[in-house]
Amino acid sequence: MGETKHPRHKKYKRQALLTWKRNKDRALLKLITDVINTSLGRTEVKEWLVGSICQLMDAEASTLLLTEEDYVELVTKKVGVERPIWTCKVGPERENDLIEKSIQSHTPLLINDVSNDTKLETLNTIPDVEAVSILCVPLVFNDTALGALVVFNKRLGS
């Protein structure tokens, strides 16, 4: 995805990153609010939101799963270049796996080493990302699961 083209996004991103250093939670809410309040289309909002959360959390990749959609939008960070390059790809359909169960049960999921878990073998079919760790946080509003934010390979201590 690279740098966002809209000039307001750079301003929002810069403001959100500065605020994040002072208060992570408040910065994340501000970031989400700023993105939603822009005049972008739905796909652009999702790409920018997931990419920004992935950057803020210092993770290799992040996925936004929404319950009404049968596909996954994956934002991947390309490493080994001077500036990170973010791309958005459409991945395979969701299956009834641990992530889906996390969404249905409204329970967060954290696995620090997926190498020994055969239930998570499908994660390594994601292009350009070899899953090592996974964090899944269901998005729940009024006891209704709207989807989940899934973060792959979050670096320790950040």
| Separation of alpha carbons 86 and 68, rounded Å | 25
What would the pLDDT profile of 34-60 be if each residue is shown by its tens digit?
666 665 566 677 777 777 777 777 777
Q: Answer whether 0.85 is exceeded by the pTM.
A: no
The domains located in the chain, with CATH, are: 7-152 (3.30.450.40)
* CB neighbour list of residue 117: distance below 8 Å, 6 or more residues apart: 111
Residue 1 has what pLDDT?
47
| Separation of alpha carbons 5 and 11, rounded Å | 12
| Separation of alpha carbons 63 and 111, rounded Å | 16
Give the closest residue to 84 by CA, choosing from 68, 66, 61.
61
What would the pLDDT profile of 95-131 be if each residue is shown by its tens digit?
556 777 788 888 998 887 777 666 655 555 455 666 6
